[in-house]
Amino acid sequence: MVNVKINGIAVSVPEGSTILEAAKLANVRIPTLCYLKDVQCVGSCRMCLVEATGARGLVAACVYPVSEGMEVRTNTPRVRKSRKTTIELILSTHKKKCLSCVRSMNCELQKLALEYNAEEDRFGTDHDLKPVDDLSPSVVRDNSKCVMCTRCVAACSLQTIGVIGPKHRGYAKEIGSPYDVSLAHTPCVNCGQCVVACPVGALYEKSSVADVWGAIVNPEKHVVFFTAPSIKATLGEAFGMPVGTNVEGKMAAAIKQLGDVKCFNMDITADLTIMEEANELLERLMKGGVTPMFTSCCPGWVKFAEHYYPELLPNLSTCKSPQEMFSAVLKTYYCQKNGIKPEDLYVVSVIPCTAKKFEITRPELGHYTDAAITTRELAKMIKEAGIDFANIAESEFDTPFGEASGAGAIFGATGGVMEAALRTAAFVLGGDGSPIEFREVRGTQGVKEAEYTVGGSTVKVAVANGLGNARKVIEQIKSGEKDYQFVEIMACPGGCINGGGQPYVHDEVRNSIDLKAVRAQALYDCDKENRLRCSHETPAVETLYKEFFGKPLSHKAHELLHTTYEKREKY
């Protein structure tokens, strides 16, 4: 342990700790811009400069190590002047359309500029408006707002995708894709981790809000929303609620106040996915099919496999994602039951994921989903409608797609798909149907593995979250080092609860708490409190099989609930 003082506050920290880490223990805030916990620590933005004994000049707190007896001052006149000048220099090359920016009132640069009384035009406005790259169906890049923190580059590198990076040198340096091609023409998987890493409005999702409002006011359209499992655990953050607050009732009420719309629960088709996927796994195991079987509900992971590991496409489950299953059910079964023409039903998916925006464009999925909006976009619509979200009376999802199992709820957390599938597989193989918790596959570790005896059969499983971890697991399987029968992969670290479409969280919060763990716990609490714990217990799923699909893996189920994949170029 090393003894230091931060603004006169004595703290002991492990040897090798940075000044920033020591300041956190002393409850002293040091501003950052390029630093992001678990993503990047390079000290390039110079916002965290401090004075420290033994150092020559100001040092970057995020990378400078403490030493025994060091005394640090974080708010001297020299430090404050340096930070203010840094902000003003950044503002001199920044497109300052703050009033209409997607990050207005939730922007790290805007926040710092206000705190340090920065003059936005002290060094003039010396920038050329750069073209906006909006060809991707998921992510938009506006380099005129880029502050060169390179957090997006670090996030993309952690995902082992690397389709964006610094180009040119010196003052001409900018972030983009090789050869100046659009992001749409790269092997980007649309995961959106670059978006949630960006501290300003240089990256954001391609919005469908205007289209959805248009459908709501169109008297010829029947509009239905359905919300993904993780949305209830994150939407509240957009309205100032604590991380991990379950707002399911408020969310359903707010959506139904947007207009003449219905609001359904996507947890139901998470359950439907499990029914198909668990039975597909058992069929492969019993009939000698291709193993290990990989989950297929994450479109970012699916596109990753198509680009980088096309030889593994036969290993992917053929199940569509819960989003695409729900849309297919609505445009067929639901329309038939309610006498609605499919073309008159406008289906809106509320998702935590920018990759879902790409997914709805895939022709092999049937184009059943009309719009996929992120958690952030839903929050924007609620605010536009003038709804007092914090104080709105709670409501329930509309019938017949309201009640789902706890297994469907945990879909949004890494390991949740695996656990839900194992619960139902155990039942199909002769279990008594009692709730089973597979805790070994829970948690936010990058890779988890376990071995279970299910219905007398031994199943080796692995769970990976984040594509860097997925790549490690795949390479171990290919080399023969590991042997699994079932593998769950989610593109985003922590799973959907940390998806690219989730609410922006200020750096101070993100750097101080484990967002992934707190959000995931909200979903596990939903599961624990639910009277239904397994997907096969969900009433709507039982009805769908009884009235429409017949049984899992039936011909009609394959027609509407399953899909195919295609090899894509790697470069």
- 317 in active site: yes
- 364 in active site: yes
Catalytic residue among 82, 177, 317, 321: 317
Question: What are the two backbone dihedrals, phi and then psi, of residue 172, each rounded to the nearest 5 degrees?
Answer: -85, 0
Distance of CA 240 to the CA centre of its chain: 19
Catalytic residue among 356, 448, 482, 516: 356
- 51 in active site: no
- 82 in active site: no
Catalytic residue among 496, 526, 534, 535: 496
Q: How far is CA 188 from CA 1, 27, 225, 303, 514, in A?
A: 43, 39, 28, 8, 26
Catalytic residue among 205, 237, 276, 277: 277
- 107 in active site: no
Q: How far apart are CA 130 and CA 149, in angstroms?
A: 17
For residue 489, give the 3-state DSSP assignment: strand
Question: What are the two backbone dihedrals, phi and then psi, of residue 165, each rounded to the nearest 5 degrees?
Answer: -175, 175
Catalytic residue among 297, 319, 492, 526: 297
Catalytic residue among 205, 359, 377, 403: 359
CB-based contact 214:373 (threshold 8 Å) = no
Helices vs strands, H then E, count in the chain: 20, 17
Q: How far apart are CA 348 and CA 256, in angstroms?
A: 13
- 297 in active site: yes
Q: How far apart are CA 349 and CA 104, in angstroms?
A: 25
Which among 243, 218, 165, 320 is positioned nearest to 498, based on CA atoms?
A: 243
Q: What is the largest CA-CA distance in the chain?
A: 78
DSSP string, 356-404: HHHHTT-GGGTS--SEEEEHHHHHHHHHHTT--GGGPPP--PPTTS---
- 220 in active site: no
Catalytic residue among 115, 311, 343, 364: 364
Q: How far apart are CA 322 and CA 517, in angstroms?
A: 23
- 280 in active site: yes
Q: How far apart are CA 488 and CA 469, in angstroms?
A: 11
Catalytic residue among 205, 280, 419, 537: 280
Q: Which residues are catalytic?
A: 277, 280, 297, 317, 356, 359, 364, 496
